[in-house]
A and B are shown apart, each in its own frame.
Chain A
Amino acid sequence: MPKTSIVIFGYHSTAVEVATYLRSRDYRITIIDDNEEKLAKARYAGFETARLDYRDDAELKKLGLGRDVEVVFSLFPDDAENVFLVISVRALAPDVRIFTIAHGALAVPKLIAAGANKVVDTYEITGHRIVDILDRPIITEILDNTLFGQADLSMAEVPMMAGSILNGHTVKDIQLGNDYNLILVGIVDREMGDNFIYSTEGHNHRLDEGDVLVLIGPNEEIDRIRQDLAP
């Protein structure tokens, strides 16, 4: 499966981290900045780079947003720059997915209004994380060691295709835990407006084509169920 092609704007500490994570998962990444020094650093770290004046729409168009590029990361350390880039990209390409970071709660609604699909307030999340370490040390430790760590446990979305063996079964009926080493966290029902239904709540939901199973488990188990569910 060819991996999504990603463009990262702004090469700063957050961008370094994002790019490194993404590279470890085999995405195609291009780093864009208008500062040659930063680009040189990025090249030194082994990334593909492009120098571009991102304030200029004509130059942005050259990237092939939405066509060649499916995801845009706007990771500037300045909220105003992020808002400007998000709004420019959104104007050029309505379908591209945009991920950006905010430095303070006030910038979040602005970035969403500008058209970002996902805004992460880094400082807020850091704050929550600190309190989680205090409040729920065990849970935090488990997740750090499994889902977010190096251990072989990840989350996945597995779409239900037409003619899949699970079609027509209810969530209650399918005992994934026995046949696979997987936990079904919930499902997304495309027909009901992309609602997320936790598996603890929607026992009687009948699976059909287009639903997406949200699973947690070891990678090979996820691959196995993907294959088994394919018609």
Chain B
Amino acid sequence: MRPGEWIVRFCLILDGSIPYQRVKGFFRNLLENDHAPQKRYFDLFMILLVLASVFLLIYDVTHSLTASAALFEDFAVLVFIVEYLLRLWVYNDSHLIIIERFERASFLDTRFRPGPAILDVLRRKWAFVSSPMAIIDLLAILPSYRPIRLLRIFLLFRLFKLFRYTRSAGGMASILAEKRFEFYTLALFMSFVLLASSSAIYLFEGDMAGGKFENFFDAVYWSMITLSTVGYGDITPLTSEGRVIAMALIISGIGVMAFSTSIVVSAFQERMTDLRELRVLGDLDRMHGYTVICGYGRVGQVVVERLAADKAPFVIIDRDAGRIREATIKGYPAIHGDAASDELLRKAGIEERAARVLCITGDDMTNVFVTISARQMNSGLQVISRANRKEVVNKLKLAGADHVVAPFEIAGLMASEYIGKPVAFEAIHGILSGEHDVILDTLPVHNGSFICGRLLGDVDFARYKLLLFGVITGSDSKSPPVGGLFPLADRHFYFNPPPDVRLEDHDILVLVGHRDSLQYFRRTLEKGELRVVRS
């Protein structure tokens, strides 16, 4: 058997090996997947390790290391080496390259040559090794057997390693990189001023007896210190010509400083909202089962306030910059953008991590569009949409909304309910809205609970100051009542059931009562459950 075949066979085994894939997947999550929770812990660990090792280096300058400190340094370097090798490993799948080449060769019926394939593999790995972050990683490891003093400076590259583990640092660098053109201009102007002033000062004072400018480097150093308005004063011009140069340099120095400050400030100002959004999206990446709220109008505000009070996770999307600002001031995560854009919805994690979408803008077209996009992206998503006109209700349902709420319909309903019986209306709405302490709530009956299997008449709800509104039952097997059985989506609601109804597992009691009474009853049931389990 030729070595080429051995290699291919080995690669095929790797490709089919589930443990190998699992291990590689684990490390890929750990090192590269920003969404994976374990990466956060790993990053934190690495940051602490880098800081500790740099601190040790600084300590090492004037102190001699103890044995344990040296051991720690060895440990840190070992971790860095292992990390580097792991990154090299998970960077790509080499065996796939070989398999692909082999398959192409067998398809074309030519001989598989392992040489070029391995070269290809090495080339891909080289792409990793030559990437800036990998070079920093390597430089952070290499000087650890520091035979040369200069190499120690490279140990500071460990600090640069921190960029790998923090996202905001990368964001900041990219923002400054956007102002590349301005920085080039500034650098050009600065080098011109520096060159002119250092040559001038050197011309005037370089050959002066007792002068401080011994060589051209001194002149450049002095110019730089003066230009930056730092002005140490260790080297100073002595002649009047030199002082004139210094004055001119100081004035242009103020200009340069102001210019560079303004570049940085404007760069950040322009991108501040983006940065904030990046942060919101970054936070979202780590969440699951949150609510995406499209539209922060009056309805949206009410929803958000209640969700925030319940500490339920959510994110707001709105087109209107003013509303987004309002939301941000209140500390709610908000993204400025058109919810009708698929890209934004995808970024908001509609495809997998969001549990539900609320399309509640004041614009029916947007609501329909967002409903249909969200439904297409994720069929398991709960979609609740708002219809501002009657005709839209059906369209929203067709578009895939699970629930459609219509402000006008609710107002109409309330108006007509109010008209005949204002008192009853207020009372029942008090119960429904939870404004008072008396609420309507559900209580599931579990198998083993002490009310399970009992007749309703045996449970003295009045003693617990509760009112039985009805029972939700899975089956309609219970003797069909005079008209108290109402169909729900997949079960039945039995209004005011008679005392001879027997409670079964999975039934749900619907009770009216004071919050505390309900709480007490619930706890009593739980204790009852315990009793049954023990006996």
Q: Which A residues form the contact surface with B (CB < 8 A)?
A: 4, 6, 13-14, 16-18, 20-22, 25, 27, 71, 73, 75, 97, 99, 101, 103-105, 117-118, 120, 122-136, 138-139, 141-143, 145-148, 151-153, 155-157, 172, 177-178, 181-186, 188, 194, 196, 198-201, 203, 212, 214-218
Contacts and interface: CB of A to CB of B under 8 A. Distances in A.
B520 to A, nearest CB: 12
Contact of A127 (B298, B415, B483, B510): B298
Interface string B460-504: 001001111110100000000111101111000101101100000
A177 B486 CA distance: 17
Contacts of B373: none
Interface string B421-457: 1111111101111000010111000000000000000
Interface of B: 291, 297-303, 306-307, 310, 312, 356, 358, 360, 382, 384, 386, 388-390, 403, 405-428, 430-433, 438, 440-442, 462, 465-470, 472, 481-484, 486-489, 493, 495-496, 498-499, 508, 510, 512-514, 517
Given A25-B420, A128-B433, A131-B307, A142 B302 contact: no
Contact of B417 (A139, A151, A155): A155
A71 B499 CA distance: 42
Contact of B415 (A22, A138, A148, A156): A22
A146 B493 contact: yes
A3 to B, nearest CB: 9
A127 B467 contact: no
B263 to A, nearest CB: 43
Nearest to B464: A200
Contact of A129 (B405, B442, B468): B405
Given A118-B422, A139-B440, A200-B438, A126 B299 contact: yes
B303 A18 contact: no
A186 B429 CA distance: 13
Given A152-B483, A200-B514, A201-B514, A125 B425 contact: no
Contacts of A214: 421, 423-424, 427-428
Nearest to A23: B416
Given A101-B411, A123-B298, 6 more contacts: A103-B298, A130-B405, A134-B307, A134-B382, A139-B510, A198-B512
A17 B484 contact: no
A215 B427 CA distance: 10
Given A131-B306, A146-B495, A125 B424 contact: no
A97 B451 CA distance: 47
B413 A153 contact: no
A157 B423 contact: yes
Contact of B408 (A16, A146, A147, A217): A16
A154 to B, nearest CB: 9
B412 A14 contact: yes
B413 A181 contact: no
A155 B421 contact: yes
A47 B421 CA distance: 23
A116 B415 CA distance: 13
B496 A138 contact: no
Nearest to A196: B427
A127 B303 contact: yes
Contact of A188 (B423, B430, B442, B484): B423
A199 B428 CA distance: 12
A125 B417 CA distance: 15
Given A127-B299, A127-B300, A18 B412 contact: yes
A181 B483 contact: yes
27 contacts: A4-B420, A14-B408, A14-B412, A17-B411, A18-B416, A21-B412, A27-B419, A123-B297, A123-B299, A124-B299, A127-B301, A130-B360, A134-B291, A134-B356, A134-B384, A138-B442, A139-B441, A142-B472, A143-B432, A145-B488, A156-B424, A181-B481, A181-B483, A194-B423, A198-B512, A200-B513, A212-B423
A153 B470 CA distance: 12
Given A136-B442, A146-B495, A185-B467, A22 B512 contact: no
B312 to A, nearest CB: 8
A143 B403 CA distance: 14
Given A27-B419, A142-B470, A146-B495, A126 B512 contact: no
A1 to B, nearest CB: 11
B122 to A, nearest CB: 55
A71 B419 CA distance: 8
Given A4-B419, A13-B408, A16-B408, A127 B442 contact: no
A124 B298 contact: yes
Given A18-B411, A25-B416, A130-B303, A200 B466 contact: yes
Contacts of B482: 181
Given A13-B389, A148-B413, A200-B517, A124 B302 contact: yes
A103 B301 CA distance: 13
Contacts of B512: 185, 198, 200
A61 B489 CA distance: 50
B405 A133 contact: yes
A127 B302 CA distance: 5
A118 B418 contact: yes
Contact of A17 (B299, B412, B419, B430): B412
